[in-house]
């Protein structure tokens, strides 16, 4: 079973996610932005979702975590929860 560890920032609008992604591209700290802006309870932990298995998250989220390059910020990714910026820390 594949496992991964990821950080994410969850916001309500695509525009908000795009603004945060621009800040990250300029060197902003992912954890700080997650604490300030994420609507997910994980925001309190800097967006840290811990380790999880493939299939535990919704498909759009899983596809990014298990298929896209590690240590890059991907998104905005739309799910029923809102718009995510996702940074996969590792995969095994």
Q: Report residue 91's pLDDT band, with 50, 70 and 90 as the boundaries.
A: very high
Domain boundaries, the chain: 3-91
The whole model's pTM is what? 0.96
Question: What's the pLDDT at 32?
Answer: 98
Q: What is the pLDDT of residues 51-84, one digit of tens each?
A: 999 999 999 999 999 999 999 999 999 999 999 9
Please, what's the b/e burial string for 75-89 (b: 16 or more CB within 10 A of its CB; e: otherwise)?
bbbeeeebbbbbbbe
Question: What's the pLDDT at 5?
Answer: 98
List the CATH code of the domain at 3-91. Answer: 3.10.50.40
């Amino acid at each position: 079973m594949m496992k991964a560890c990821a950080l994410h920032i969850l916001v309500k609008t695509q525009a908000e996610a795009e603004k945060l992604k621009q800040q990250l591209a300029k060197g902003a700290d992912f954890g700080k932005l997650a604490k300030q802006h994420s609507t997910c309870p994980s925001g309190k932990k800097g967006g840290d979702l811990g380790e999880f298995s493939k299939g535990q998250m919704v498909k759009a989220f899983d596809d990014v975590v298990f298929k896209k390059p590690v240590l890059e910020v991907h998104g905005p990714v739309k799910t029923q929860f809102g718009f995510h910026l996702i940074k996969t820390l590792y995969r095994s």
